[in-house]
Amino acid sequence: MNILIIGSGGREHAIAWKLAQSPNVKKLFALPGNSGTALLAENIHGISVDNYPAIIQLCHDRQIDLVLVGPEAPLASGIADALLGAGIRCFGPTKAAAEIESSKSFAKNFMARHGIPTARYEIFRDIKKALAHLETVDYPVVIKANGLAAGKGVILPDNREQAHQTLEAMLLHGQFGAAGAEVVIEERISGPEVSLMAFTDGKTIVPMIPAQDHKRLLDGDRGPNTGGMGAYAPAPICPPELVEELTETVLLPAISGMRLEGRPFVGVLFAGLMLTANGPRVLEFNCRFGDPETEAVLPLLDSDLAEIAMACVDGRLAATDVRWKPGAAVCVVLASEGYPGKLVYGRITDGGRQKYEQGICFHAGTRHEGGKIITAGGRVFGVTAWDESLASAVRRAYGIVAKIHFDGMQYRKDIAARALPQSAYASSGVSIDAGNRTVALMKDAVKSTYTPAVLAGIGSFGGLFDISELGGLENPVLVASTDGVGTKVKLAAAAGRYQGIGHDIVNHCINDILVQGARPLFFLDYFATSKLTPEITAEVVAGISAACREAGIPLLGGETAEMPGVYQMGEFDLAGTIIGVVERGRILPRSSSLHAGDVLVGFGSSGPHTNGYSLIRKIFASVSLNTVYPELGLPLAEALLAPHRSYYPLLFPHLDKIKALAHLTGGGFIENIPRILPDNLVAKVKIGSWDVPPLFELIQKIGTISTQEMHRVFNMGIGMVAIVDRDSVSGLQQSIPETTYIIGELAPGEKKVELV
């Protein structure tokens, strides 16, 4: 068969190289091609890739059996439609199907319609509405031009001011022209990225080997974003079982959805994915082979690419054998001086002509001039090598790189380094580098909590606290408490909202010592996870630090542990310990002073606090966390993840008026209030004596839970209960700057709680 390849980059050279190995291919043509494709195919000049009549005539003249389109722009403008309309087979989607890449707003809405996991987003054309939206979100954002912008339309602002400037540049000043007339404001998620391409005939989908790209220009993922400075395959972070999961949850729903919407997709579907702590999320879909991923993936294909492409076009992929070679492949991009900014090219290069054992130099931006190869683009070569292991493939690739030269040549020296075991510790799944980066990210937040009493904190083997801080107490007693956040962390992970749980653990522990009359001195935290994601850990610790600052105490130390095998992938746990102090004579509860007739005063909660989340997750298991119930007036995630309230600043100044305090945590009213009662008193709690927040009513209605059980599991809007002498109630309520509730009283009887 005769095949025409559309495109001129390294991807197209790699495609031509693979097609040339097929015994079924009679002749290859490339339009326009480059110096590399010229070694394998006849380059066609003088015809623009958007001149469809001329391309159709070329296909008739050269008896082309199949056209394979490399870049996205011709697909987005309808080249496949024109070819198919002329009866010419085309491996590549129609214009309607290519919209999954050419329109980010279409892609995001499409994913939402078909249940494909992706980050939260909103779409805007109006600058005022877009700026107003920025003021409502509590997470970092990515701003994306809706249309194709040559890989430059995705902006990651560092702060709100930069986000404003980006929106104004796109929507007001036309930075990306029509491509930026509509923007997607998307939640910025974190985690390792993986590229998963797949062959499809519109019904069947066959995944390729997963790859990882390196977008940043410089080693260590520093510098500006580029079109890609290298790739490797397979990516160890995406093992076969994960590929299978992604096929079921991402690729198949996408292909089925396109077919159901009348946009059957034929060709290569590319899913750019991020493996977050909450599971995989789709960053974007592309409608073609990736670049430079293709240069790393195709060398591992053990089947006939021409046969696979023809099977996709003819709708018989299910009956086609797609096999892969063992081992690994690595592609290192060699770029021109100035890339990705103002380019300096036209340099003579000695690369691209030699033959290498288990390696090849794919041309990306080159041209012939006077018998010499001249640099003619940003990315000049993609040096690819393959071998039995990733480490040996890396060595081969850089061995070839060492033999190539042109003035101003720049390349990364750490391609695939993230996948190579750095030590025995790293090979066990623990990343020392990730741990170090985590410490660096959270260091400032932790130090912001320090007081003069801190003698040694982060980085030390143990925290040191100056005990003279206790000066002025006649008979000081240290009070300690430790606790965890519980399964609320799973909900936080599912919603991608981590800072609030830092407040949860600090405030929960503060309340636990407040009920003994103590003021907090310092806090220690413990964060454990299957695999450290430094940004997530730092976000949690930032929440802990903020809560400590509000309480006026230092975050003296803690432990951040990475324990693969102990926790499931994406799971983590958070616990904390607080140390406080109280004068011996002021310890609560003052049990001997409790009498029948004493009043129960309730103080409002900010939500479920940190209890009942196993039941909550079960009740709302099939409900999107973005759902806005009318009675709540805000997304479900915001209502459920409201941070645990601290009662310390509210109540500590008034403890002389209080006989006992009960913190309503696990066990609600039924289990917690009896902890502070003598054996001869019952607490009668009057149902309806306070305003129950709508969230608890919603939980009870959906879960069909009895009133008794609701008060045993949840705080029902009362997070702290004080027992006060009847004569002191009015004075206490007047001194508290918020609404308080008289919710019951003590009576003679067996120690327990009665709901009346």
For residues 593-606, give the mean pLDDT. 95
Lowest average pLDDT, out of 46-60, 197-211, 617-631, 678-692, goes to: 617-631
Task: Give the whole-angstrom CA distance, residue 462 versus residue 466.
Answer: 13
Lowest average pLDDT, out of 14-18, 115-119, 197-201, 440-444, goes to: 440-444
Residues 6+ apart with CB under 8 A from 633: none
H helices of 22-114, in order, are: 52-61, 72-77, 79-85, 95-102, 104-113
pLDDT tens-digit series, residues 349-380: 987 778 899 999 999 999 888 888 999 999 99
Q: How confident is the model at residue 437 (pLDDT cuts 50, 70, 90)?
A: low
Please check the confidence at residue 424 and state whether its pLDDT lies above 50: no
User: What is the DSSP secondary structure assignment for residue 392, as one 8-state letter?
Assistant: H
Confidence (pLDDT) at 421? 61
Q: How confident is the model at residue 541 (pLDDT cuts 50, 70, 90)?
A: confident
Task: Give the whole-angstrom CA distance, residue 480 versus residue 28.
Answer: 76
Query: Is residue 235 within 8 Å of 210, Cβ to Cβ?
Result: yes
Task: Give the whole-angstrom CA distance, residue 252 versus residue 241.
Answer: 15
pLDDT tens-digit series, residues 326-357: 999 999 999 999 998 889 989 999 877 788 99
Closest CA to 682 of 603, 600, 588, 593: 600
Percent of the chain topping pLDDT 90: 69
| Domains of the chain with CATH codes | 2-95 (3.40.50.20), 99-326 (3.30.470.20), 426-587 (3.30.1330.10), 589-756 (3.90.650.10)
- Could you give the angle at the alpha carbon of 559 between the alpha carbons of 557 and 561, nearest 5°? 165
- The pairing of strands 718-724 and 599-604 is antiparallel
Please check the confidence at residue 325 and state whether its pLDDT lies above 80: yes
- Taken in order 264, 266, 272, 274, the sign of the CA dihedral is positive
- Report the interhelical angle of 95-102 vs 252-260 (nearest 10°): 130
Lowest average pLDDT, out of 4-18, 216-230, 452-466, goes to: 452-466
Residues 6+ apart with CB under 8 A from 659: 588, 589, 590, 593, 594, 598, 722, 723, 724, 725
User: What is the DSSP secondary structure assignment for residue 103, as one 8-state letter?
Assistant: -
Please give the C-alpha separations between residue 278 and each of 91, 190, 418, 611, in angstroms, as whole numbers: 35, 10, 21, 21
| Three-state DSSP class for residue 4 | strand
Task: Give the whole-angstrom CA distance, residue 479 versus residue 321.
Answer: 68
For residues 42-65, give the mean pLDDT. 96
How much is the pTM? 0.60
Q: Given the structure tokens 């750095």, which residue do they identify? A: 422
For residues 271-293, give the mean pLDDT. 93
Residues 6+ apart with CB under 8 A from 632: 639, 694, 695, 698
pLDDT tens-digit series, residues 719-752: 999 999 999 999 999 999 999 999 999 999 999 9
What mean pLDDT, rounded, does the chain reach? 90
Confidence (pLDDT) at 422? 46
Query: Is residue 32 within 8 Å of 54, Cβ to Cβ?
Result: no
Residue 474's Cα: distance from chain center in Å?
52
Task: Give the whole-angstrom CA distance, residue 196 versus residue 180.
Answer: 27
